[in-house]
Copies of this chain bind each other. A is one copy, B any other.
Amino acid sequence: MLLRFTLCLLLCFTLAPLPRASPLKVEIVHQGLVHPWGLAFLPGGDLLVSERPGRLLRISADGQRHPVAGLPEIAAEGQGGLLDLAQDEQGWLYFSYSEPGPGGSSTAVARARLQDDRLVSLQPLFSQRPKVSGGAHFGSRLVLGSDGLLYITLGDRFHYRDQAQRLDNHLGKTVRLNRDGSVPHDNPFIHTRGALPEIWSLGHRNMQGAAWRPVARQFWAHEHGPQGGDEVNLIERGNNYGWPRVSFGEEYGGGKIGEGGSAPGLTGPLKVWVPSIAPSGMLFHSGNHYPQWQDKLFIGALRGQKLVELTLAGDSIIAERALLTERGERIRTIKEGPDGALYLLTDSAAGKLLRVAP
């Protein structure tokens, strides 16, 4: 009895439960990448990495870099450049980039095949309208859903935020396309007069992370808030996510934006960060090789310099854990490798590709 009581005191009274360390094994796969942004796994074990200044690299299994030729012209200024990569089962490589043109630049998406370190059979799929000046808020993540469609996140281009509420442009929107770039017949605004038919959702700011959630067949994205107010959203058909009518953040330097955090008719976030962590990259883990990670949501942080692990119950985010905080690296991109490990790109002029496993 005394022993049990003493044990109880030791275990649960004097101090609360001790955390058990959950160490992650982190391995540097490659380094010296210049602001790497997109990552794709090729069938034979090679990797493709995009560097924001406008270079596409094949990294072979022995660690050698091979520049890939045949990219279109890219407007690499500020946050713009060669951005996301995605590979489908038919051998198409999808890529997003800031495309120059009359008026400035905008986010564009194309696909091509890779042959002897050259892009061939290039097909332009999408070009954000309008092109505007400025080097900020391009988006742009590419998500290949298990519904066979291509989802693209498009930023508000910073100076043009009010356009995010209008349906006659692609600023601050997600779009949904067939993989050949044509518009699906069941897109939400296809019969709305004056609306661009590619639009899937509106009222976004700058979405540098998006992912398909396999268990629920859902498309999710996160976005940078202004000063505070980074959001995670479940992106559903035709919804308005509120920017800049509402925000949990505030103007740079202070000052209220719009009507506060929420308003009727607008879809609210499932998670908010105040202050901002500056999220980039997003992945729902399949659970392959690591069942304990199944349906875990991983998000990278640039300013926050960490890997965030979120636990879901239904569509609610019920727990958050900060990982890799000790590394102090800006995380740009997260992909799941064929081996079930997480592959991260760090954002720096000397960026790294990390492999992370439990």
Contacts and interface: CB of A to CB of B under 8 A. Distances in A.
Given A134-B4, A135-B9, A136-B8, A20 B273 contact: no
A19 interface: yes
Nearest to A14: B78
A263 to B, nearest CB: 12
Given A318-B268, A318-B271, A303 B15 contact: yes
A209 interface: no
A311 B249 contact: no
B228 A270 contact: no
A252 B17 contact: yes
A18 B277 CA distance: 9
B19 A78 contact: no
Contacts of A270: 316, 318
A17 B303 contact: yes
A56 interface: no
A225 B1 CA distance: 24
Copy number of this protein in the oligomer? 2
A261 B226 CA distance: 35
Contact of A320 (B78, B224, B262, B320): B320
Contacts of A18: 227, 252, 275
Given A8-B78, A16-B302, A16-B303, A272 B227 contact: no
Interface in A237-274: 248-250, 252, 254, 261-262, 268-274
Contacts of A16: 224, 276-278, 302-304
7 contacts: A9-B135, A12-B79, A16-B278, A19-B227, A20-B228, A20-B254, A272-B318
Interface of A: 1, 4-5, 8-9, 11-13, 15-20, 77-79, 133-137, 158-159, 224-228, 248-250, 252, 254, 261-262, 268-278, 302-304, 311, 313, 316-321
In order of increasing CB-CB distance, the 9 nearest A-B pairs are: A19-B275, A16-B278, A16-B303, A272-B319, A17-B227, A17-B276, A8-B136, A268-B313, A272-B318
